[in-house]
Amino acid sequence: MSAGGCNRTASPSGLTTQEDIALPVCTAHTPEEHFALTLHETARAWRSRIDEQLRPMGLSSASWSVIFALATADRPLSQREIADRIFVECPTVVRLLDRLEKLGWVRREPSLEDRRRNRVHLTAKILEHHDDLHAMAESVHREALAGIPADKLAVALEVLEMLRGRLCT
């Protein structure tokens, strides 16, 4: 038995592979744990589905979150402000912006107030693809929420807004 309680065995090559590791089954013991696990798995599946839709445009849910943050801001944002809005660290934003800049979605310009900072601007490419991006997001939303009664969605939204209020302060 190795640390963490996982049995590890060597493969014929002598290396340990993921298939060789007996992973513990993650089970929820309380309704709260079940809710938390289900919420996490649902968010991950939702992001994965959005990734599938955005992949042909060279985007991912992570890069889409940067575009969305910029599109909903009332001014160009600094890299720090983007990181704060999408709940990631600055080095992650830098990598996302490098990729988005290379693909022509954003441009960075030195801040007039502070030369140590960049302000990030969306390019005209967003206008060219706005309808396609919106349609992709809508298709995922429609697929995921199809057949769920409005009253159940209202309750789910109320709970999610309560959680966001507690966690996003």
> Which CB contacts under 8 angstroms, 24+ apart, belong to 86-92?
86/62, 88/62, 92/62
Q: What total number of domains does the chain contain? A: 1
Residue 46 lies in a domain: yes
Residue 78 lies in a domain: yes
- Range of the structural domain that residue 149 is part of: 29-167
Residue 2 lies in a domain: no
Q: What is the pLDDT of residues 85-108, one digit of tens each?
A: 999 999 999 999 999 999 999 999
Residue 113 lies in a domain: yes
Query: For position 105, which CATH number holds?
Result: 1.10.10.10
Residue 159 lies in a domain: yes
Q: What is the pLDDT of residue 3?
A: 37
Residue 34 lies in a domain: yes
Residue 128 lies in a domain: yes
Q: What is the pLDDT of residues 154-168, one digit of tens each?
A: 999 999 999 999 988
DSSP 22-59: BPPP---SSHHHHHHHHHHHHHHHHHHHHHHHHGGGT-
Report the predicted TM-score, pTM, of the whole model to 2 decimal places. Answer: 0.74
| Residue 17 pLDDT exceeds 60 | no
Residue 12 lies in a domain: no
Q: Give the percent of the chain with pLDDT over 70.
A: 85
Q: What is the pLDDT of residues 127-147, one digit of tens each?
A: 899 899 889 989 999 999 999
Q: What is the pLDDT of residue 111?
A: 87
